[in-house]
Structures are given as C-alpha cells and as structure tokens.
Structure 1
Amino acid sequence: MRIAVDVGFGYTKAVNEAGKMVSFPSIVAPRAGGGIDIMGGDQDDYLVSLYSQGVRFGSYYIGDAGLINNGTRAWDENFAQNRNLKTLVATALALVGDRTPVSLAVGLPMAYYRNQKEEVKDGLAALDMDVLIEKHQIRRTVMVKDIVVYPQGAGVYYGAVLTPAGEIKDIELMQQSVGVIDIGHRTTDVMAMSRGRKGLTPREDMIGGFDYGMNAAIKQIKAIVDKVSQANIPIYWVEQALTWNQGILEYKGKRYNLKKFETQVYAQVAELIVASVKQKWGQELDRLSVILIAGGGG
C-alpha cells in the first residue's frame, strides 16, 4: 500500500492511495503506566502503545490527547533524531493503512529537507513495529518496504494536480507557472514551477523556507497575555485556549479573551510572510499564473 505522510512542526498528515486521510497535532506525551482513562466514550484523541516482538516499549498520548496532557512538539533538536518522529509516523501509518508492508512517501519542511533527507530516510526505512490505538480498536503491524522523501511544498503542488492514485485531476494547472506558499506551524516554505523549453521546471532560486509560521502568531499572543496578566503563561496554555476554548484563557480566577488579539497578530505575521516572499521571488512573482497557499496558516 502507498501512503504519504507529511510530518510538520504543527500537524502530522497522512493519506493512502485510496484517499483515506488523517490529520492530528504533532504532539506526544508519555503515558505513565499505560495511562488511566476517566473520560470514556469516543474521542478524537489517540492513546497509542507501540510493541516490538510482542513487548510494549512505549505508551503515549498523541495529537489532541498529547496537547491536553501538556505534551511537546520537541522540534528544537535535529529533525532526523527527533524522539517523536517515528512515533508520529507509525501512528499515522496505523490510522490510514490496512496492509503491510508500506511504500512510504514522507514530506519534510524545506529547512530540513536539504540537509537531513537521507538521515530521515534511513531512520524510517527500518520502521517495523506493532501499533495499538486504543478506543479506535486498531492494532496493526507497521512495516516500511521502500521510502521516498520530498519537500512539503512539492507535496502541495502535486496534491493540487494529482489524485492520491497518481492520476491527473487538473491538466490546466499542470501547464501553468505555479508558486507555492506553504504556511506551517513553525516554518513557511516556498517553491515555484516555471515554464521552460521542456515544460514546467522547478526554479531553484525560488525555493526556500522562512523560520516563522503560525507559531510566531501564538508567541506574539503569549507576549501580550503575559503583559496583561503579569505572568509567564506556558505557550501550550495559549494554544489550548485558541484551539478548544474560543480563545478564553483562565488563569488565577480571571478570564482573558485571546481572540481579540488574533486579527492584529495574524495580520502582522501575514505581512512578514508577504514581504519575505516578495524578497525571495522578486520580479519573477509577476510571471506566475497561479499561487497556491496551503498549510495550517493558509
């Protein structure tokens, strides 16, 4: 089975060849002693246990469950050596895969693709474990047969012109010069395809990444609420409030409405991204027929 997994700083996304898709926050929190469930019922959260040769070697809250249990994205370290990478990929494969082994395509942020794609490829090529996702009644063996690593911006383009099965769905777009702006959680990736003598060709000088995305907005909102509350509010509290609680942050008996800061802060981040794209692409920007904007910040 062919499966594509996009491991982002903000979200992990996956789709199989039949079009089945999943997306969840790239957040992992350990479950002490396997965890205790007091909620019951169906949840979108993922309670995941990983096994090797029948022996459990890890149990985690993943996605929304990870966020509510104060998990981390842990992306400050080397991407290929990130302790959450294999856990996130294995969970995604178990959720959308029903056959093994898997032909895996992995998308990486541009900042890491250039220097770490081979290390990521080697690390995930050896993926072989059993994955149990509780409450969803999923237990699958995850094994990778072969793997290709691609920049996430390229995934945006090919996702717009091809179906999950690889068939052309937009022939007109395939014949036009296209720019891609992929706004992620921590980075923004850009790339462009220009028409040349041999058809569409990637423009190396128009490919790059900027080290800011939606997390820059969350950090700015945190700075504002820190000043108003005269406290050092954990950034994941800010994200929880914006994601689940209509922007309301409760702290020491007071309620802070973070939504009223969003429009201003998002506009500032958008202006920063636009300025960076204009500087990167220059006058070539005016020759693009289409610009695709994607990602969690799109």
Structure 2
Amino acid sequence: MKVAVDVGHGYTKGLSESGKRVLFPSLICPATSDLDLGPLASSHSTTVQWASQAPRVYWVGENARLQATSLFGSEKASDPLTRDLTVIAASRLIHATDALPHSATLAVGVPLTWYGRERQALQHALLGTVSIDGQSFDIADVQVFPQGVAAILSALPRNTSPGLYGLVDIGYRTTDYLVVQVNESGLPTLVPGLAGSWEQGIHNALLTVAAHIEQQWRVVYAPHELAKATTIMVRGHEIMVSAEIRQASAQLGASLTAKLQTVWAPILPRLKTLYLVGGGVEAMSQHVGGMPIQIVPDCQWANVKGYLAAMGPSVP
C-alpha cells in the first residue's frame, strides 16, 4: 500500500492511494502515568514501538494541545517525535482498511532548502517494522520529496501549456517558493536560482498575537493554541482575538510579498500563473507585484497529494 504523510509544523496530513485521509495538529508529547481517575483521566494515549526498541507512549494531536509544543526541529530524521508522528499518521491510513498489508511504501517531504541534507537520513530513519497500539506494519520503502516541488505537481492541470509558472507554499513555520518551466511536452522543470525557503510562516503571525495577549492581559497562550481561535478566555471573560490574528496575518503576507517581489523581480511579470498553496494562503493579498494569484483547490493538501502522485501508479 502507498501512503503519503506531510508532517507540517502546524498540521499533519496523510493520504493513501485508496483516498483515505487523516488530519490532526502536529502536536505530540510523552504521556504521563495517570491515577485511576475514571472519567477525569487524561485523553487516550498512543503507543509506538519500533522493532528491537522500547515502546514509547504519547499524547497526540488534540489530546496533546495543552501539554505539547510545536515541532520546530529542522533535522526531522534525528527527531524521534517527528518520526513517530509520521508513522502514527501512516498507521491510521493503513489500519483503516479491512485487509492489512504486510508492508507499505511511505512518501514524505521536507522544506526545499532542507532537502539535500535531510533526504537520505530521513529515508533511513523511517524504514523498518513498527507497531502502533499493538498493530504492526513494515515500511519497506521511503521516498522523500521537496515541499513546493511536490505541490506544483498536484497544482498544474493536465495539458498545461508551455511557459513559466510560480508557486508559493505558506506553511506554519516555513514558506517555500519556486518557478518551473513547462516544456512543449507538458513536463515541468525547476528554474535554478528562483526557488528556496524562508523560515517564516503563520507561526510568526500567531507569535505576534501571543506576545500582545501576554502584554495586555498578563496571560500566556502558545501560538499553536491560537491557530484556530476566534476568542480566548481571560479570568472568566471571553476576549475576541480574530481581528488581531487577521491583522498579524496581513502583516505576514505583506512581508512575504515584498520578499517575492525582490527574488522574482526579473521573472514575476512573465509568469503564466502564480499558484498559492498551504495552510497560510489567507495571509496573502490577491496580487503579488501586479501578478494575480490563484489559490489551488484543497490547498492544504497540495504537498501530500504531490507526494502520492510522484510515487507513480501502483503495479497490479
């Protein structure tokens, strides 16, 4: 079975070749032992055990929202939390079917500028047999793709006409950008010098809001707690924060737009289409340097759909 997992710094997305999807916050932390508190006990935990290793017990996703911090490490291969979050998502896809496969092919991705140093180590880290809550499966093959490049594969429609196409992927922590040249055969090629990553994303806007909340109300909220918030609770009172989040997001969008206008100055007016994907698309305005943007449908899933497509069709 082929499965693709995108462990973003905000959300983890998973997609199988059968079309099954999983989506949950990229939050994971070791689960502490609870007393027998019955209905007051902590949320359901998840146990991960790799072959020949001791089991690890976690709270994951919404169950970890109050205890966990966002995963920010750039070295995903050496981070056991990122590795285990990846296989938890893969397990939810694989075990959703009635006939469990003995092995799976897993596709994952990393930001564009991390790809060279992370690809082989990440492949090695994810290979092997793993058990999730007592259900085992073998990851026989791991394919690693650069974010953004994968997204453009899912963004470009069939029979795309030749020309230059740009893509911006605004994530929780990073923003990837690239330009491809589509040839007469409809095949895209990355244009050197016009692709890269910035360590700037929705987290920056939420960090600004969190700092303002702490300064004004003397209460601490982590940025990830504000990701979907419209209100917060302060000493028994509900406080609206949606306007502040929109303002901070707009400032982020203006900053990214200015950077794109600089790095793409010679090529921006020549683009046929500028695609926008990722969880942070709402931060951008409708134009970049006069070039209209096109938000890709299902934009939060563009990378993971690209990973799955890049693996090619299954062989019967």
The equivalent position to 2:89 in structure 1, one of 88, 92, 107, is: 92
CA contact (8 A) 1:90 1:142 kept: no
Q: Which residue of 1 aligns with 2:270?
A: 287
CA contact (8 A) 2:171 2:280 kept: yes
Q: Which residue of 2 aligns with 1:60?
A: 58
Instruction: Give yes or no for the alignment of 1:205 onto 2:193.
Output: yes
Q: Which residue of 2 aligns with 1:166?
A: none
Give structure 2 stretches of 5+ with no counterpart: 95-99, 282-316
**How much has 1:197 moved relative to structure 2?**
7.4
Instruction: Give yes or no for the alignment of 1:214 onto 2:216.
Output: no
**How much has 1:241 moved relative to structure 2?**
4.5
Whole-Å separation in 2 of the counterparts to 1:55 and 1:9: 26
Whole-Å separation in 2 of the counterparts to 1:91 and 1:112: 23
Alignment length (residue pairs): 273
Q: Which residue of 1 aligns with 2:47?
A: 49
The superposition leaves residues 187-210 of structure 1 with CA deviations (integer Å, 9 ceiling, x where unpaired) of 001112113577531112111001
Instruction: Map 1:54-133; keep pairs closer than 5 Å.
Output: 57-67=55-65, 69-76=66-73, 78-97=75-94, 98-125=100-127, 127-132=128-133
Whole-Å separation in 2 of the counterparts to 1:95 and 1:10: 19
Q: Which residue of 1 aligns with 2:135?
A: 140
Instruction: Give yes or no for the alignment of 1:7 onto 2:7.
Output: yes
**How much has 1:280 moved relative to structure 2?**
1.8
**How much has 1:111 moved relative to structure 2?**
3.4
CA contact (8 A) 1:50 1:129 kept: yes
Distance 1:297 1:39, change over 3 A: farther
Question: The residue matched to 2:24 in structure 1 has which SS?
Answer: strand
Question: The residue matched to 2:267 in structure 1 has which SS?
Answer: helix
CA contact (8 A) 2:123 2:144 kept: yes
Instruction: Map 1:156-235; keep pairs closer than 5 Å.
Output: 156-161=151-156, 170-173=157-160, 175-196=162-183, 199-229=187-217, 231=218, 233-235=220-222
Whole-Å separation in 1 of the counterparts to 2:101 and 2:40: 31
Instruction: Tell me the TM-score normalized by structure 2.
Output: 0.78
Distance 1:190 1:87, change over 3 A: same
**How much has 1:267 moved relative to structure 2?**
0.8
Instruction: Map 1:224-263; keep pairs closer than 5 Å.
Output: 224-229=212-217, 231=218, 233-236=220-223, 239-243=224-228, 246-263=229-246
Q: Which residue of 1 aligns with 2:257?
A: 274
Q: Which residue of 1 aligns with 2:285?
A: none
Question: The residue matched to 1:283 in structure 2 has which SS?
Answer: coil
Instruction: Tell me the TM-score normalized by structure 1.
Output: 0.82
Matched residue type, 1:33: S
Q: State percent identity of aligned pairs.
A: 23
Give structure 1 stretches of 5+ with no counterpart: 133-138, 162-169
Moved over 6 A (4+): 34-37
Whole-Å separation in 2 of the counterparts to 1:53 and 1:113: 27
Matched residue type, 1:78: E
CA contact (8 A) 2:110 2:118 kept: no
Whole-Å separation in 2 of the counterparts to 1:282 and 1:215: 27
RMSD over aligned CA atoms reads 2.6
Whole-Å separation in 2 of the counterparts to 1:46 and 1:211: 33
